[in-house]
C-alpha cells in the first residue's frame, strides 16, 4: 500500500506539472514502459546531435508529451491560444539546435535532410537545393524588401509564428489516448 500511495502522490505531482489527468499519466506510463522494455529510461536514437540527451526518464518523457496534451471541452479561446504558442515554441526549439533564437539555414538543411533521408531516392545536393529554396521563400516572405547584398540570418520565433499562423495546431496536434492493452496484430498472429 505504501508504494501505491507514493505512486499516486508522484502522479499527482506530475499531473500538476503537465496538465494530464491521473488516468492519462497511467496510460502514458504504460506506453513508456513498453517503449523502454520496462527500463527506467529510453535511449535516444541520435545521441551525438547537438542539444539532445542520451536518455530520458519518465518525467522528462511526460514533460515533452505535455506539449501535445489534448484540449478539453472546457478549454477557453485564451487557453487554446496559449497551447498554440507553447506548441509553436516547442517545435521551434526542436529546430533551433544552436539555442540562439534563430533557425539558421544550416539547421533548416539538417531538418530537411532528416525528413528526406529515409527515401534514399533524393541526392544530397537536391536536398540542399530544396532547403535553400525554402529558406529563400521564407526570407522573401518575412523580409520582403531585402537588398541583394543583405544576408538572411534565419527564422526567428516571430517569423515561425507568422509562417504557421493558419495551422490550427492547438486542436489538431495532440496525443490521442488509446487503450494500451489492445493486442498488437502481426502477420495474422495476436501478441500482447
Q: What is the CA radius of gyration of the chain?
A: 21
State residue 100's pLDDT score.
92
Its pTM stands at 0.64
- Answer left, alpha or beta for residue 101, where phi above 0 means left and psi between -120 and 50 means alpha: left
Sites in the chain below the pLDDT cut of 70:
1-5, 44-53, 117-120, 142-144, 146-151, 170-172, 174-192
What is the rounded CA–CA span in Å between residue 186 and residue 189?
5
State residue 184's pLDDT score.
43
State residue 5's pLDDT score.
56
State residue 179's pLDDT score.
53
State residue 69's pLDDT score.
77
Domain at 72-172: CATH architecture: Orthogonal Bundle (1.10)
What is the rounded CA–CA span in Å between residue 124 and residue 113?
8
State residue 176's pLDDT score.
67
Domain span(s) for CATH 1.10.238.10 in the chain: 72-172
Amino acid at each position: 500500500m505504501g508504494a501505491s500511495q507514493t505512486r499516486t502522490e508522484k502522479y499527482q505531482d506530475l499531473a500538476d506539472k503537465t496538465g494530464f489527468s491521473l488516468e492519462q499519466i497511467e496510460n502514458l506510463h504504460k506506453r513508456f514502459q513498453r517503449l523502454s522494455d520496462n527500463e527506467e529510461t529510453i535511449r535516444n536514437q541520435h545521441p551525438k546531435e547537438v542539444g539532445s540527451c542520451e536518455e530520458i526518464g519518465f518525467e522528462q518523457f511526460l514533460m515533452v508529451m505535455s506539449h501535445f496534451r489534448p484540449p478539453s471541452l472546457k478549454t477557453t479561446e485564451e487557453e487554446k491560444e496559449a497551447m498554440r504558442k507553447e506548441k509553436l515554441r516547442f517545435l521551434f526549439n526542436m529546430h533551433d539546435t544552436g539555442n540562439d533564437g534563430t533557425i539558421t539555414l544550416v539547421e533548416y538543411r539538417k531538418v530537411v535532410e532528416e525528413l528526406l533521408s529515409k527515401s534514399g531516392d533524393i541526392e544530397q545536393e537536391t536536398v540542399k537545393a530544396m532547403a535553400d529554396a525554402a529558406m529563400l521563400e521564407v526570407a522573401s516572405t518575412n523580409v520582403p524588401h531585402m537588398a541583394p547584398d543583405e544576408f538572411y540570418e534565419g527564422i526567428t520565433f516571430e517569423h515561425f509564428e507568422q509562417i504557421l499562423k493558419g495551422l490550427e495546431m492547438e486542436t489538431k496536434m495532440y496525443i490521442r489516448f488509446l487503450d494500451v492493452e489492445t493486442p498488437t496484430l502481426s502477420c495474422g498472429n495476436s501478441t500482447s
